[in-house]
Chains A and B, each alone.
Chain A
Amino acid sequence: MNVMRMLFAAFALAALMFAAAPGYAHHSFAAEFDADKPIKLVGTVTKVEWTNPHAWIYIDAMDESGKIVNWAWELGSPTSLVRLGWTRNLLKAGTSVTFEGSRARDGTSTANARSVTLNSTGQKLLGASSQGKTQ
């Protein structure tokens, strides 16, 4: 009986935890990136993919051994970014930037962009919304 009760309790808790069900996710960053692997890179934009559902910005950055590595950074949808004031020309190839986020679980040179800073001015373009407004 105890097992049954535990199972029931676990289910009841899960039921509460997905109370957000209707608004849960249109994608799954949690399945893609690892919060325990934060990363911050200073680099130069090499390419912008302004595509739905997610924009991708690629930067060249130097790793610890001095080797230049091209990193792919995932952002929200261009549709949303435009409504937040971005344009597709905001970060052109050659722009010096600092990106912060979490590394991909699959170990590739991929990360999600939590904040993007223009190194020329120090302006934070868009930051982690749950940690307060930026802009």
Chain B
Amino acid sequence: MRRIVVSAWVVTLGTVLLAQGATGTLAGVVTGPTGAPVPDAPVQAKNRQSGAVVRGATASDGRYRLAPMPAGSYDISITMPCCAYEPFARQDVAIAAGQTRQLDVRLAEGASFNTAGDDPGELAAVIRKRQKVPSRPVPRLAGKPDFSGVWLANEDRYPEQPALLPWAAKALQERLGNGLKDAPHTQCLPQGLPTPASIGPFLAKLVQTPSLLVVLFEDAGGFRQIFMDGRAHPEDPDPSWVGHSIGKWDGDTLVVDTIGYNDQSWIGIVPHSEMLHVTERIRRRDFGHLDIRVTFNDPGAFSTPWHQTLNWELAPAEDVVAYVCENNKAQHLVGR
């Protein structure tokens, strides 16, 4: 039997026992609701004692293998791109030194209900397949990296959990409990921060000048402006769906600071308050990749800042198109 070993890597070493060789392995196969293998499923194991994280992904036959893992107890999670599969979580999985723990996972059907044309993961795969991204140096503009281009706005493959204050945790439970029927998008409103629609089967187009970065996206609103002309935030900005963004360079990294959000938008499905303050550190790693580290700081909703790591891929064969949400027939939304 063909076994493809996907190399796993330790993100945070913490109190890792690698040196002593007290490590084990987690391996298995990930399938969908019908039993078909799920390729490229991101598998994450978090050590319950040290917090160290081991990550890997399934091969084309759905198999994965995480090794070496310091012996201990782990929380395992798999989160596929929105929304074909429900996320998977299994707590307290023991990994013993010198042994391989088998954990096969059957992912349940997700919120997109397998609707034709509504699986961002599938769409991303199709888009990737037709791209020919040349190997070139990162283009520069006025001495700084130029982010201009059409990007496949991937979500965080290994998402962290936000530490929610009680009201926010309750609001989230209600959203999950009613099948997300009140999601802004179901009313043709923007959904997702800091760039709306970056959660779905959407593309984002960046247009950069030395003093302004424009983000065009395919959702209500359609654009963000990131001012790089040295202006400050307004003292009391009117709350809006995308906030007020200013950008400053830190070497070759653009640091974008955004305030002035309303409390109506959802971060994916997570609630927030008007106190939300978002920082994005954007770096063009190479010609074809944009790495974005997002920090959501909201003392009105989170007890500690929440982070996302986004990796956008250049999509030179695509373009954004006008997207007017005109026909969301919400009358069928009756909840669960």
Contacts and interface: CB of A to CB of B under 8 A. Distances in A.
Given A26-B200, A31-B334, A79-B323, A18 B111 contact: no
- Size category of the A interface is 35 or more
A125 B82 CA distance: 22
Contact of A19 (B159, B178, B267, B333): B159
Contacts of B270: 18, 21-22
Nearest to A53: B325
Interface centre among B75, B91, B332 (most CB of A within 10 A): B332
B5 interface: no
A29 B328 CA distance: 12
Contacts, number: 243
A101 B173 CA distance: 28
A55 to B, nearest CB: 7
Contacts of A26: 82-83, 183, 185, 191-192, 197, 199-200, 219
Interface stretch (B30-38, B53-61, B64-72, B133-141): B30-38
A13 B333 contact: no
Given A51-B326, A75-B115, A80-B118, A30 B336 contact: yes
Interface string B155-185: 1100111100000010011001011110101
B181 A25 contact: no
Main secondary structure, interface of A, reads mixed
- Size category of the B interface is 35 or more
B117 A14 contact: no
B332 A104 contact: yes
A21 B268 contact: yes
A32 to B, nearest CB: 5
A110 B332 CA distance: 9
Contacts of A86: 117
B121 interface: yes
A53 B113 CA distance: 16
B116 A113 contact: yes
B94 interface: no
Interface of B: 32-34, 36, 38, 75, 77, 79-87, 89, 91, 107, 109-123, 126-127, 155-156, 159-162, 169, 172-173, 176, 178-181, 183, 185-186, 188, 191-192, 197, 199-202, 218-219, 267-270, 308, 318, 321, 323-329, 331-336
14 contacts: A16-B89, A19-B160, A22-B156, A23-B156, A26-B82, A26-B83, A26-B200, A35-B109, A49-B327, A55-B117, A76-B119, A112-B113, A114-B116, A128-B116
Given A20-B87, A23-B268, A110-B332, 7 more contacts: A16-B89, A56-B329, A79-B323, A113-B116, A126-B116, A130-B36, A130-B119
